[in-house]
Structure 1
Amino acid sequence: MDVSFSKRFENIMKITKHLCEQGKNASIAKAEASNIEEQFLKVANTTDEYQELCDDYVEVHQAIPTPTTIGLDNEAMPDEIFNTDGPTLGKYEWATFHSDGQASTVYKAKSTNVDAMEKVMALKVMRPDHMEPPHNAHREARILEKARNDNVIPLLESFQQSGGRLVLVFPFLRQDLENLLRTDSLTKAQSRTVFEGLFGALAHLHSFGIIHRDIKPSNILLKSMDGPAYLIDFGISWAEGDPDSEDPAKKMTDVGTTAYRPPEILFGHRAYDSSLDMWAAGCVVAEMVTKDHSQLFDAGDLGSELALIKSIFSTLGTPTDDDWPSAKKYPDWGKVKWKEFPAKPWKEILPGASKTAIDFVSRTVCYETTRRMTAVQALSHPIAEEFA
């Protein structure tokens, strides 16, 4: 049976959109949709049967109620779905797979403590065999304890399991910015909640000498559709003075996620500071203010550094000494001669964005790290008023 790539992709996207509408995280929905579509391809005998299976899946599952978001202090809703055959971890039962990371697996579980205010929890179970730098579970727990804040996901407890597995316990929050962006359902009120939550968290973290190092939409969760917003996933964060953090002048450059990685680490700069987070946060805001919520830069399907550099240069323009005076100090600067790309106008880079939004993004997504706004300055920028 010969099904074209474009038809398969179309069906995967259709199933992904449907799963997102049912409350699934966008990245999880895409992975599930790919598995579902692949199974249909295997069992179908004809292309018509394959297409019918894909169409029927979306139609039949329309009746499933949208799961209710679980807040920090709410009891489990009746439609919260658990795997009742799932294992019990500590005092949490029915551990149900939620998502996979490079060094951990997240489960949704139910608290067995009848007096607990939170009934539905997220259990981040570390995998010691995958715990390679910059990932460090114990450092993550220490940073979360140190960085407690209204906009940092609260670490409720941690405990050890067999095999050296550390388990971090958080409130289970279903909604994230990634899902709101990809389903084009982000409202102005939510934008303000996310903006204030993200930069409030960063201002707090940076005051403690903590660099998050993985700012992206899927790491910003909302307690409910009305907020508040929380910054999550401190697995690769760096903290000044922490025994498991690298030397300040020799930090790892293999941090961040594809399109949100700033140019200085792509050229080997290891003495970076909190401005690294501000570049990534500016990229997030760029997605929030454009019409189609598309990513600002593209690292390609394989997440190539060269592809990302080309995307940055062809968007912002190949940097000159005036644009990026510190670049010549970086170890890998000058090893490759780049085509001289002209800078695109910001109105073209951010279609539909206001002058205020363009000003904000241009002052965070800029080559020279010392010219980027700080998180404290970001909170005072007039862009926040546009989200009101």
Structure 2
Amino acid sequence: MSPGTPDWRSSISFSERLQVILRLQIAYQLNKRRNASVDAQARAKAVESELFKSATTRDLYESFVKNHIRNLESIPVAGQALEDADLSDDVDQMLSQGVTIGEYVNAHHFKDGHFSTIYKAKSLKHCPSRDQVWKGGLVALKVTQPSAMSPPHDSKREARLLAVAASTYVVPLFETFAAPGAQFVLVFPFLPVDLDELLRRGHIPEARGKAIMKDVLSALVHIHGKGMIHRDIKPSNILFQRSNNQAWLADFGIAWWRDDPASESSDRKILDVGTTCYRPPELMFGNERYGPSLDMWALGCVAAQLFSLGSHTLFDSGELGSDLALIKSIFETLGTPNLKVWPEAAKYPDWGKMAFKEYPAKPWSEILPSASTDARDLISQLVCYESRSRLIAAKALEHPFLKM
């Protein structure tokens, strides 16, 4: 199917379009004119419909949406849907001076998440100043709509878990507050650089990669010790104030904690967690009893990029991010497992339901050709089928590769 054919629209699910409408609604609600919530929703629906009809490819649709939110109605939009919503006088209005969110004035759009919109703003005097990273004076405002979230996404639980997870290597939560339109806002230090961006820039020296790994592992030692699982370790959730500064673990939006009432029971955890190619194989075979080793697999995948692959991921989940494509990629790389290699899989609900082609395991020297022998050894002890065999965070910190 060509990306420019009308069929591209059928690849966008109802829930995806609903999330776009929510993001647009938040942008309108934060407009200085403070339109009523019902008006903001009508505007968002109309504009999304017009952008959806105007775009000729999925990429163009997503670009239209991103630019529209960034500029807050700066994209000229016309059409019957717009007229029906009575938007014609407002669509070309630009907020060059930013928007007001709670007590934060002149806040500017920074980026969008799946269930949130991030703004940057000048910090307030009453915010805590003890955090070295915050001395730059900018904060990140994570604007969410809890009523529109579906499990495992929960911004109020995120705030509770961050209070428990507070430590040197976890992004600190300064405060939270309610905003018009039933929004819930979390305030963090503004950390503009993420590891995904650094990997795309080019080669990261091994010594720098080791420092990043130590920082993230230190964060995991702390949260795992509290009985918490992050569930979304990936390069874009590892943040920096500057590219050569300390790494911070961010985004606890789908994190799990055994003591939080909004988290699932320990033996019935949600399987739809993690991000595409960083998801461990036990999730695809229905293991709802997973533990912190889920984070260790994902960090092993990140380490593979840090020390060899750069912006290329260790595994490939395909254009649509499907589980079957990811399983195939894992099997092609690590070899198709059997119960001798992966004994705990015998207890997984979906193990044995499908027959897979038998692939031999590739040597790690072939998988990560530019990584050192010690780096490969560390990664191989994180990215392995048997979750009980994966290094825990504290042991990974003691690995000889990170001691050198």
Q: TM-score range by the shorter chain?
A: 0.7 to 0.9
SS at match of 1:290: helix
The aligned counterpart of 2:109 is 97
Q: Which residue of 1 aligns with 2:158?
A: 140
Distance in 2, Cα, partners of 1:185 & 1:286? 13
Listed as ranges, the matches of 1:271-310 within 5 Å are: 271-290=289-308, 292-310=310-328
Q: In structure 2, how many angstroms separate the alpha carbons of the residues matched to 1:258 and 1:291? A: 17
Aligned counterparts, 1:1-388, within 5 A: 35=63, 84-113=96-125, 117=135, 119-290=137-308, 292-386=310-404
Query: Is the 8 Å Cα contact of residues 189 and 226 (structure 1) preserved in structure 2?
Result: no
Q: Aligned residue pairs: how many?
A: 316
Give 1:85 shift: 2.6
Q: Partners in 2 of 1:85 and 1:282 — Cα distance?
A: 43
- Aligned partner of 2:47 in structure 1 is none
Deviation at 1:89, TM superposition (A): 1.1
In angstroms, what is the RMSD of aligned CA positions?
Answer: 2.5
Give the deviation of 1:385 after TM superposition: 3.9
CA distance in 2, matches of 1:112, 1:356: 46
Given the two structures, how large is their TM-score scaled by the length of structure 2? 0.74
Deviates more, 1:119-128 or 1:206-215: 119-128
Does structure 1 retain, via aligned residues, the 8 Å contact 2:277–2:315? yes
Whether the 8 Å contact between 1:91 and 1:113 is mirrored in structure 2 is no
Native 8 Å contact 2:206 2:307 kept in 1: no
Q: How big is each residue's C-alpha offset from its partner over 1:69-112, in whole Å with a ceiling of 9 and x where there is no partner?
A: xxxxxxxxxxxxxx653211122111211111111111111235
Q: Which amino acid aligns with 2:111?
A: S
Unaligned runs of 5+ in 1: 6-30, 40-82
Higher relative contact order (CA 8 A, sep 6+): 1
Structure 2: where are the runs of 5+ without partners?
6-58, 68-94, 130-134
**3-state SS in 2 of match to 1:163:** coil
The one-letter code matched in structure 2 to 1:103 is F
Question: C-alpha separation between the residues in 2 aligned to 1:114 and 1:237?
Answer: 28
SS in 2 for 1:88: strand
Provide, for residues 285-327 of structure 1, a one-character-per-residue CA deviation record: whole Å limited to 9, x for no partner: 0111115442100000100000000000010000021210010
* CA deviation after TM superposition for structure 1 residue 4, in Å: 10
Q: Which amino acid aligns with 1:375?
A: A
SS at match of 1:280: helix
Distance in structure 2 (CA, Å) of the matches to 1:191 and 1:250: 35
Q: Is the 8 A contact 1:193 1:227 kept in 2?
A: no
Counting aligned pairs with the same residue, the percent is 49
